[in-house]
Amino acid sequence: ILRLCSLASLHRGVDTVLEMETVVNNLRSYILTRVKYQEEPQRLDLYDILVGVVRKMEEFAANRGVELRANFKGLRHVHIDGFEDDLARALLNILHNAVKYSWTRKGPSKAFVMVEGRMDPDWIYISIENWGVAITREELEKGLLFKVGYRGVNASDRRRPGTGLGLYDSLKVAEKHKGKLSITSKPSLGNARDDYSNPFITTVTIQLPRNEQLP
């Protein structure tokens, strides 16, 4: 029993270290973008950026028992003008949240987070979806999640750490690229819209213009 308890404690310790590593690295990147010189936009391969972001989150997700699923092959060879570090950080913020706030599924099915990419003639859409902690109707309608330092009313669930900067930063990155960021959070088990005791399906989407030339 003591050995099992020690292993469980070690697992929780590794999980905390992995989570804090992502939080600290993203915060460091966020601060550096505020103090360094304004870089010029570069021609970016979105597919490569997404692959890199997913790989960075694989260990954290595996330790949480969450499977990362990717469906963005349609973005192969798609390029935009932009800022690679900013876009990678914004996507990592969103994916980290999706893993962190996923609920463990009952039965043999593993919890998973889906990363999808698609486009139309004018826009590129990158969506990250999870099954887990709900975002309330008020938070969505009032845009509270995009305020500096704000953490969702359900964010303290299971004592999850966080800075309250991730979604604010991701929104600003999307706007820097003349894009948009949107969030939906809907009941997944037929529960009422205001019943937050059951998991919700939450989708965060970054929308980027395909042919926009940045200054």
| Identity of the residue numbered 129 | E
Average pLDDT of 141-162? 76
Contact 87, 178 (CB under 8 A): no
Task: Decide if pLDDT at 7 tops 90.
Answer: no
Residue type, 143: G
Separation CA 189–CA 76 (nearest Å): 35
- What mean pLDDT do residues 203-215 have? 86
Residue, of 163 and 148, whose pLDDT is higher: 148
pLDDT in tens, 16-73: 555 555 556 555 555 555 545 567 899 999 999 999 999 999 999 999 999 999 999 9
| Span 165-178, average pLDDT | 94
* pLDDT tens, residue by residue, 91-122: 999 999 999 999 887 766 789 999 999 999 99
**Cα 88 to chain centroid, rounded:** 11
Q: Which domains does the chain have, with CATH numbers?
A: 2-209 (3.30.565.10)
Q: What is the DSSP string of 47-110?
A: HHHHHHHHHHHHHHHHHHTEEEEEE-GGGTT-EEEE-HHHHHHHHHHHHHHHHHTBPPPSSSPP
